[in-house]
Structure 1
Amino acid sequence: MDNGKRVALVTGSTSGIGLSIASKLAAIGYNVAINSFEPESEIGDAPGTIAPDGNVCVRYFQADLADPKRAYDLVGEVVAAFGRLDVLVNNAGIQKVAPIEEFPPEDWDRIRAISLDSAFHTIRAALPGMAGRGWGRIINIASAHGLRASPFKSAYVATKHGVVGLTKTVALETAEKGITVNAICPGYVWTPLVAKQVADQAKVHGLSEADVVREIMLAPQPTRQFVQPEEVAELAAYLCGDMARSITGSAISIDGGWTAK
């Protein structure tokens, strides 16, 4: 199905940042492929919330991106369904917090596979089609932890640093092909998962939720404000535009001043 609209694939996009990016791209006229590891029966009405007016096509593609073959094949499935792929947003990622001597190796492997390896596989699959059309946008959702470290997050920090390095390398390789490759590096983003963490930490520390947010979770961010998913989505949409053609190989912070320190 090729209705002439550009097509975007956003991985890990049934909630949080990914869902916001998918919704924004649909709102500006992209057909959108969304993805997660759950069966479609378990994702709720994510497709309907992304394009409520039905002006663009939204389809769900189930794939556990820890599996290299599924990550690579996902791109082919999207191209088969839509006829093309113009924008790839690698957003999927997971987290584990533990001292390195207690860090389960299987968690290290899965975090690396989903947060870093899957980006390699999807980019590798998407580039030939983009290069053939002379236009493409690849956006990797990294993190402030792709530029700074925090204790007890060895796998997450290592993989997000890797995502930034991958971004820069692919940008150089595609610089003359009409393709831009950038990383967005958010600080703490307000999502339902984070909201639950605030409530849990308030109980553990015996603090109000407001104090937990300000004194614990947002201590690294000078603004003491969460980044909103919609802010990340707006930046992603700009990077997809023709006026962003000279922005490539960049790791763009949206972190309330965290990495300015």
Structure 2
Amino acid sequence: MTARKTAIVTGSTSGIGLAIARALAAEGCNIVVNSFSDTESDHAIAKEIAADHEVEAVYMQADMSKPAECRSLVAKAAERFGSVDVLVNNAGIQYVAPVEDFPMEKWDAIIAINLSSAFHTIAAAIPFMKKQGKGRIVNIASVHGLVASPFKSAYVSAKHGILGLTKTVALELATFGITCNAICPGYVLTPLVEGQIPDQMKAHKMDRETVVREVMLEKQPTKEFVTVGQISAAAVFLCSDAAAQINGTHLSIDGGWTAA
């Protein structure tokens, strides 16, 4: 990748997002790190990325549940760096409960952060990418964008929606040098997944070890968690010139989960 492209990665202070931000910085991209908080440690992450990879990296607070903040994040990044070359929509939350017990506010929050935020950031980034005649959009979906699991109605719905959004954006932008693709990870051991384990234990009435083995990795044929490094390497590839004709599709990284 050409040095000094600018990449925005939402939800990038930990887990998959942070790994992608670091990987893109290693390729020479300036990085916009994002989360909903605004702490010293948030800004320290950006400073560390900048120092490690000799690029510019800044932290920009934006709450992905709020449409105006999603769009403002892109505008501020473009103002700061002069362009938006790469947009990675990674921000996400999870909640596990049966449909009849699923709290309305949790449904609304998951749809807002996991799906609607991507619509808003993409809509805001398109004019900048069109102006420069190129761009890469990568949406972090999930194996649950392709198949369902019990007790995850909002998450499954949002991730299925992300794949539909990805395809639509790809078709609309196909002649502008802009690609839009999705990555569908299986279970990755991140803080988000760690946070699911107690809820899964409660929902399935199992201990931790049994939940990991029989619920989380039961459908992942390799019986191994996907790593954040594997996800970030895929994102870098989709943002490269080699992936110029990969558009409107998804890359499953799920240990074979969706092969059956």
Q: TM-score per shorter chain, which class?
A: over 0.9
**SS of the counterpart of 1:80?**
helix
Identify the residue that residue 151 of structure 2 maps to in structure 1: 152
Counterpart residue number, 2:258 = 259
Offset, 1:44: 6.7
Q: What is the deviation of 1:17? A: 0.1
Distance across 1 between alignment mates of 2:8 and 2:30: 9
What is the TM-score of this pair, normalised by structure 1?
0.92
- CA deviations 1:187-245 (Å, max 9, x no partner) are 000224434655897897346x4x54333320010010100011000000000101100
Q: Which residue of 2 aligns with 1:70?
A: 69
Partner of 1:70, secondary structure, is: helix
Q: In the alignment, which residue of structure 2 is the partner of 1:164?
A: 163
- Give the match's secondary structure for 1:226: coil
Change in 2 beyond 3 A, CA 1:125/1:197: closer
Change (3 A) 1:197 1:112: closer
2:110–2:158 contact (8 Å) kept in structure 1: yes
Aligned twin of 2:57: 58
* 1:205 aligned counterpart, secondary structure: coil
Please list the CA deviations of residues 17-73 of structure 1 after superposition, one character each: whole Å capped at 9, or x if unmatched: 000000000001000001000113253732244333351011000010101111111
Equivalence for 1:98: 97
Q: Distance in 2 between matches of 1:171 and 1:230?
A: 25
Q: Which residue of 2 aligns with 1:81?
A: 80
Q: Which amino acid aligns with 1:137?
A: R
| 1:233 counterpart = 2:257 | no
Query: Are the structure 2 counterparts of residues 54 and 223 from structure 1 closer, same or farther at C-alpha, using a change threshold of 3 Å?
Result: closer
Corresponding residue number in structure 2 for 1:220: 219
User: Could you tell which deviates more after superposition, 36-45 or 245-254?
Assistant: 36-45
| Residues 49 and 212 (structure 1), Cα distance of their counterparts in 2 relative to 1, 3 Å cut | farther
Is 1:47 the equivalent of 2:36?
Answer: no
One-letter code of the match for 1:175?
Answer: A
CA distance in 2, matches of 1:125, 1:200: 35
> Where does the alignment leave 5 or more consecutive residues of structure 2 unmatched?
none
Residue equivalent to 1:29: 28
Quick one: distance in 2 between partners of 1:131 and 1:196? 39
- CA change 1:164–1:36 in 2 (3 A) is same
**In 1, Cα distance between equivalents of 2:49 and 2:92:** 20
Q: Distance in 1 between matches of 2:238 and 2:27?
A: 13
- Report the 3-state secondary structure (helix = DSSP H, G, I; strand = E; otherwise coil) of the residue aligned with 1:98: coil
Q: Quick one: percent identity of the two aligned structures?
A: 57
- Counterpart AA for 2:60: F
Larger displacement relative to structure 2 (194-203 or 226-235)? 194-203
Paired position in structure 2 for 1:205: 206
Seen in structure 2, the aligned counterparts of structure 1 residues 206 and 254 have a Cα distance that, compared at 3 Å, is: closer
Q: Quick one: which amino acid aligns to residue 103 of structure 1?
A: F
Asked whether the equivalents of residues 226 and 255 of structure 2 are also in contact (C-alpha less than 8 Å), the reply is yes
Q: Who is 2:177 aligned against? A: 178
- State the alpha-carbon separation in 2 of the partners of residues 181 and 46 from structure 1: 27
Q: Which amino acid aligns with 2:171?
A: L
Conservation of the 8 A alpha-carbon contact between 1:40 and 1:60:
no
Q: CA deviation at 1:96?
A: 0.7
Q: Flag the 1:259–1:56 CA change in 2: closer, same or farther, 3 A.
A: same
**How many pairs does the alignment contain?**
256
TM-score by length of 2: 0.92
RMSD of aligned residue pairs (Cα, Å)? 1.9
